[in-house]
Amino acid sequence: MGDALPFFGNIIDGVEVEAVDGARMQSVDPYTREPWAEVPLGGQADAQLAIAAARRAFDEGEWPRMGFEKRHAILHRWAALMIEHTDELAMADARDMGKPLAQARHDVARSAWNVRFFADHALVTPAETYPMDSGHHAYSRFDPAGVVTAITPWNFPLMMASWKVSPALAWGNTVVLKPAEDTPTSAVIWARLALEAGMPAGVLNVVHGLGPDSTGQALTESPDVDRITFTGESGTGKIISKAAAGNLIPVSLELGGKGANVVFADADLDNAVSWSIQAIFRNAGQVCLAGSRLYVQREIYNEFLDRFVAAAEAMKLGDPKVEGTEFSVLASKEHFDKVSGYLDTVELDGGKILTGGLGEGWQVRPTVIVNAPADARVCREEIFGPVVVVHPSDTEDEVVALANDTRYVLNAMLFTENLSRAHRVAAKLKAGTVWVNCFFIRDLRAPFGGVGDSGVGREGGSFSREFFTEPKAVVMQISKD
């Protein structure tokens, strides 16, 4: 039976291969609940082969040495091929995780933009020079760090991979990418396109497998790796951080979130409702940035809630592969069990489900909860699903305190038409990113990341350069006087 399914191999040293021991695993389409593709079930040996290929490509290959312009040309050819293969890439993510096709296509466009942006950024970013009064001249070089391990989650498979891999490659590193086991296929298509674009063998390697005692663990514990960039759960981030400490290498961690979304009475209500819906129900809420705690000022609470619930109920639910579907199923049975488990706690903890609940198959419909006390599990823990808790709020100081009362410090949203309030509250919110009157808009030059249970470090523009390079100071004597 398995032979009938399309196969997406490991890509090691430019060749698409089976796992060393021939083992395979299946990717299940969460909408049909049937396997649709097979990939290698890699292990430690596969990870070691991939690291060795990346090491050779870095230590002896042309990629770190070819210069920014040649790399830029290859990266741009790659981005163009991604756009040409939009449907294939988007369908891979749609089938692997139930992402509606329109959103998956949007992710492909943003992923191609990641590749182009970081290629351009590396090309035009100047090194720093420091003329010195002492008759010396100092300058910085930003040399590639070496071999990068990139471990990515299943919620934005291609987009997260491109967000990490693009700056690493643009700065001249080589990479081993491990996609999440639930969403393995788009990374393979992407790596095939890299070879077609002229990227040398061994520069981008892809290995499939699991985390503990598998490829994930091997890729984070290897002494031949120079950087680890990871996006995933906070608990996994702590394990990976320990592994990185074992080799004293820098690690960048983008972890969970419990984003506050603060709507003031002077907000543009249409705009606030529409972005607040996006903030929690886009990608079925499987977004670390989701606005899962919604605080609405009391004067407009009832009107906002009526409109918000109506918009949630109007979403077009269905097959992710059908045009027009806005909302589908959760990414896996395991994740469906986790999210639906939270729904069971709502009434026990004193809250009420206003709309939503279980849908067909592995679906949790857009769910709105009210009356939940601040210590309810749905208010404190990251659900990572289409579940929002709405609270009325009164003063600015009170809502800032409520918004900041979380272990996750990743992002927040605020809606107001009052310019001074927008800046004042944005400054007070504990967050790596604050969106004012919008959500999810990114400028790739800006820092992205969080602290607390949300991670360590920032990526984006020159923040990615800091992480993926070894800065070196060169000090020259230019005058002997």
Residues that bind ligand ADP (CB under 6 A): 151-154, 178, 180-181, 210-212, 216-217, 220, 232-233, 236, 239-240
Catalytic residue status for 417: no
- For the bound state, the minimum distance from the C-beta of residue 217 to ligand ADP, rounded and expressed in Å, comes to 5
d(CA 315, CA 318) in angstroms, rounded, equals: 10
Nearer to ligand ADP, 251 or 294 (CB): 251
d(CA 86, CA 88) in angstroms, rounded, equals: 6
Nearer to ligand ADP, 202 or 256 (CB): 256
Catalytic residue status for 438: no
Of 288, 326, 379, 459, catalytic: 288
Nearer to ligand ADP, 213 or 360 (CB): 213
- For the bound state, the minimum distance from the C-beta of residue 49 to ligand ADP, rounded and expressed in Å, comes to 17
Nearer to ligand ADP, 204 or 429 (CB): 204
What end-to-end distance do the CA atoms of the chain give, in Å? Answer: 81
Q: Which amino acid makes up residue 97?
A: M
- For the bound state, the minimum distance from the C-beta of residue 188 to ligand ADP, rounded and expressed in Å, comes to 14
Of 221, 254, 326, 459, catalytic: 254
- For the bound state, the minimum distance from the C-beta of residue 361 to ligand ADP, rounded and expressed in Å, comes to 19
Nearer to ligand ADP, 178 or 365 (CB): 178
- For the bound state, the minimum distance from the C-beta of residue 218 to ligand ADP, rounded and expressed in Å, comes to 8
* The token pair that represents 261 in the structure block: 């979304």
- For the bound state, the minimum distance from the C-beta of residue 152 to ligand ADP, rounded and expressed in Å, comes to 6
Collect all residues with Cβ–Cβ distance below 8 Å to 54 and sequence separation of at least 6: 147, 148, 174, 175, 176, 202, 203, 205
* The token pair that represents 480 in the structure block: 């002997």
Q: How many CB atoms lie within 10 A of CB 242?
A: 12
Phi, psi of 6 (to 5 degrees): -65, 145
- For the bound state, the minimum distance from the C-beta of residue 286 to ligand ADP, rounded and expressed in Å, comes to 9
Nearer to ligand ADP, 210 or 426 (CB): 210
Nearer to ligand ADP, 44 or 371 (CB): 44
Active-site positions read 254, 288
